[in-house]
Structure 1
Amino acid sequence: MPNSVNTNVGALVALSSLRGINSELDKTSKRVQTGFKVADASDDAAVFAVAQGIRGNIKAYASVQSSLAAGEGLGQVTAAALTGISNLIGDIKAKFANLADGSLTTAQRDVYVNDTKQLVSQITNYITQATYNGKNLLNTDATGTTVTFVADVSGTTLTLQSNTGLASQVSVTFTSVVNQYTAAANYSSAMVGLTALESLVNSLSAQIAAQSRSISLQKGFVDDLVDATKKGLGALVDADVAAESATLQSLQVRQQLNIQALSIANQQPNTLLSLFR
């Protein structure tokens, strides 16, 4: 290699090497700082496009999870109300049995009737309070109601459905039964209405339980699906931060060595001046 003051070949080689190291250092620093090996399209356009599609699916599944969680909540509230109502019907049965006692005085019968009306009032409270996120499956008219929830990103839905409005049924049953229960002879006719209501409540409980179970199972599946999708996304774009940190330290050392080499190369032309002394 000729000794020249016009072209410092050694410095050019050192500078080219330093540029390459600085470029790698920038990429590695970006991976360490962001935690991604593919943070944007400039890193890998194809992989980034795939990752963005997966991220969009995850966002869609988040909405599905929210809808199914609302379904779980409504199902649990409705089931709790129906359980409470079923228990109260058992208490009312006991009151009806007391009212069947022909030896009761008018005052005693009035006490039992008033107690029964209080229990009926509590049933009404359970029905009106069985509300979740503004929806109530029990406090409806005689035709009942249906609430739908999104089950997947394809738009499939699951439903919680009450085929009969329990509120209207309770009103009909107890208006015709309790208010007319004034003598022991009314026991049989009163029990017919109460038994019909009990059958309705039990049927609704089984129906809501089955529908709620379907929603819970679907929510569990979607939760697992989202977790698996996130793992797949991580494998696609996440950086191995420990490995990148080790690489970063190595590049920093190489950068310092190249800076020193460039400094030495830049000093070399000065040695030519000694020839003229």
Structure 2
Amino acid sequence: MSLSINNNASSKVAIETLNAVQTDLSSTQNVVSTGLKVSTAADNAAAFGIAQQMQGNVSGQSAVNDGLSFAAQTVSSTASAANQIISVLQQVQQAVTSLGNSFGVDASESQIGTQINGYLAQIDTIARNATFNGVNLLAPDYNNAAVGTKLGISTSKLSYVAGLQGDVTTVTGFAASSGNGSIGKYLTSSGGSLGASSTSTLTDLLGLSTGGVAGKNPTANVFVTTDGAFGSSYVGSGVASVAKMIKQVQAAIKAMTYVTSDLGSNTNVIKSMSTYGSTISDNLTNGIGALTDADMAAASAKLTSLQTKQQLAIKSLTIANSQSQNILSMFQ
């Protein structure tokens, strides 16, 4: 091999080798710093595209999971309110039953009537305030012009996305006079008398009061008036009136237990979908990792190897560049 000052072939080879090592080293350093073997479409167009679609599904499933959490809290809040209403209804039954012990004593019956009114006020107050982020499943009329307020209630039904493909599930409000899952249907099937077909309060719907106004507590009940007289539906039956009253309250209690059962069923569905949603999120994340995550052990070994090659390439280039200096020594 001849020595030339115009053309240094060894130097060119050393430069090409160094450039190749530098390019590979830069790529490996990017893998080490990001932890990804596919961080852009340039790395692997197919894997990158699939990973981006799966990442979109992860984001979508996250929104689904958030919606399920909200739905679970809404149903839980409603169930707590329904259970509390049942407890108050049991007190109403006790008060109504005691009318049989005070039959014909107007003063005692009047006092019991006042006591019942207090219980009914509790029931309607609980129903109005069983609101979670604007959703209330127990308030019959949430938009009363007379009161001039929605009481913070925006809707009487709960809708949530149950799956990644947009499957929507709706829990219809129970405070209706008819329809599947309505208190009205449960009440009549329990042997009770349905209240007004168009009602503004839960106690009206349960047939325990009349003339209620949304946002206001009832001032009278259907069992006994403020002056101690039995209500119009129970007049003329004597002591048997008390039995009819008890039957109405028992039917109301049974109707509310159906509501709690329905809420329990919805709770189980939401819980099941939440568990499944978490599993889907994990599987999607694992799938993305399989496509894009780097083997850090292999990347570390490759980085060490390339750094060694880089040093050798630089040394080789230094030696190649020194050849022209060796030519100069021949003329000394």
TM-score by length of 2: 0.75
The corresponding residue for 2:119 is 119
For the residue of structure 2 that corresponds to 1:227, the secondary structure is: helix
Unaligned runs of 5+ in 1: none
Residue 169 of structure 1: CA displacement? 4.2
Q: Given residue 160 of structure 1, which amino acid in structure 2 is its aligned partner?
A: V
- Comparing 151-160 with 49-58, which one deviates more in the overlay? 151-160
Residue 97 of structure 1 pairs with residue 97 of structure 2: yes
Q: Give the number of the structure with larger relative contact order, counting CA–CA contacts within 8 Å between residues 6 or more apart.
A: 1
Q: CA separation in 1, counterparts of 2:103 and 2:204?
A: 29
Structure-2 change in CA distance of 1:134 and 1:6 (3 Å)? same
How many residues are aligned here?
276
For the residue of structure 2 that corresponds to 1:276, the secondary structure is: coil
- Comparing 184-193 with 68-77, which one deviates more in the overlay? 184-193
The corresponding residue for 2:171 is 160
Residue 33 of structure 1: CA displacement? 1.7
Q: Given residue 15 of structure 2, which amino acid in structure 1 is its aligned partner?
A: L
The corresponding residue for 1:133 is 133
The corresponding residue for 2:179 is none
- 1:206 aligned residue (255, 258, 261): 261
For the residue of structure 1 that corresponds to 2:208, the secondary structure is: helix
Q: Given residue 197 of structure 1, which amino acid in structure 2 is its aligned partner?
A: A
1:126-149 alpha-carbon deviations (Å, 9 max, x no partner): 21111122111111249x954322
Assess if the C-alpha contact under 8 Å between 2:100 and 2:242 holds in 1.
yes
- 1:264 aligned residue (319, 329, 332): 319
Residue 82 of structure 1: CA displacement? 0.9
Residue 248 of structure 1: CA displacement? 2.0
Residue 221 of structure 1: CA displacement? 1.0
Identity %, equivalent residues: 28
1:192-212 alpha-carbon deviations (Å, 9 max, x no partner): 221221121011111222123
Q: Given residue 208 of structure 2, which amino acid in structure 1 is its aligned partner?
A: F
Q: CA separation in 2, counterparts of 1:227 and 1:47?
A: 19
1:233-256 alpha-carbon deviations (Å, 9 max, x no partner): 111101223432332233223212
- Comparing 24-33 with 189-198, which one deviates more in the overlay? 189-198
TM-score by length of 1: 0.89
Residue 274 of structure 1 pairs with residue 329 of structure 2: yes
Structure number with higher helix proportion: 1
For the residue of structure 2 that corresponds to 1:7, the secondary structure is: coil
Q: Given residue 101 of structure 1, which amino acid in structure 2 is its aligned partner?
A: N
- 1:151 aligned residue (162, 167, 174): 162
Unaligned runs of 5+ in 2: 143-154, 177-182, 184-199, 210-220, 231-237
The corresponding residue for 1:27 is 27
Residue 197 of structure 1 pairs with residue 242 of structure 2: no
Residue 18 of structure 1: CA displacement? 0.9
